């Protein structure tokens, strides 16, 4: 599946960049990220994919019910292991899903939005790229590790840049 391959490419890029950081840098709050750490952004990415995986059987996805696991945001090696396993876990057939979400912090009844598995993978992929753009800012603050030119850049933007360069 091309979608699974794209997720693998992006998450491998993320995992490789984490491998160049010290464990302290991974968990260190960044001023340019309003005090959040690279680890917190990585945890968020991982937990969004975990929510999708956990809800697949029931057909109900709630990204708001994430664990917010401190271990993932503080332990770089654990995060890298989890990232490495995400893409292979996506190899499931497409099927209808219901996304449960609240857009009002006072309302306890979630809005139910019809979706499907492949659409949610695509959402998580784009969401991951967005967070990698933020992680790129944190990496620049904490280190001088070299990053690929397209790290944290959407595939559509990469394609557009190529077309403009011709």
**CATH number for the domain harbouring residue 12:** 1.20.120.450
Residue 165 in any domain: the answer is no
Residue 48 in any domain: the answer is yes
Give tens-digit pLDDT for 25-66: 999 999 999 999 999 999 999 999 999 999 999 999 999 989
Residue 137 in any domain: the answer is yes
HSE-CB for 141 with a 13 A CA cutoff: 18
Q: How far, in Å, CA of 90 to CA of 6, rounded? A: 11
Q: Could you tell me the two tokens for 26?
A: 């991974």
Q: Give the pTM.
A: 0.91
Q: At what angle do helices 38-55 and 76-86 cross, to 10 degrees?
A: 40
Q: How far, in Å, CA of 156 to CA of 4, rounded? A: 17
Residue 166 in any domain: the answer is no
Residue 55 in any domain: the answer is yes
Structural domain span for residue 94:
2-159
Residue 64 in any domain: the answer is yes
Please tell me the total count of domains within the chain. Answer: 1
Give tens-digit pLDDT for 87-108: 889 999 999 999 999 887 777 7
Residue 164 in any domain: the answer is no
Is residue 17 within 8 Å of 145, Cβ to Cβ?
yes
Q: Which of 2, 1, 4, 20 is CA-nearest to residue 136?
A: 20
């Amino acid at each position: 599946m091309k979608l699974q391959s794209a997720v693998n490419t992006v998450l491998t890029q993320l995992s490789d960049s984490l491998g160049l950081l010290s464990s302290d840098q991974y968990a260190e709050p960044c001023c340019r990220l309003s005090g959040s750490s690279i680890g917190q952004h990585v945890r968020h990415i991982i937990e969004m994919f975990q929510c999708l995986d956990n809800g697949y059987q029931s057909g109900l996805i709630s990204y708001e019910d994430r664990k917010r696991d401190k271990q993932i945001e503080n332990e770089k090696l654990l995060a890298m292991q989890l990232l490495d396993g995400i893409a292979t876990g996506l190899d499931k057939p497409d099927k209808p899903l219901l996304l449960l979400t609240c857009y009002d912090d006072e309302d306890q009844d979630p809005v139910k939005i019809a979706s499907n598995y492949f659409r949610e993978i695509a959402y998580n992929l784009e969401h991951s790229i967005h967070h990698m753009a933020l992680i790129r800012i944190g990496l620049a603050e904490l280190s001088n590790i070299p990053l690929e030119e397209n790290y944290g850049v959407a595939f559509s933007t990469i394609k557009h840049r190529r077309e403009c360069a011709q």
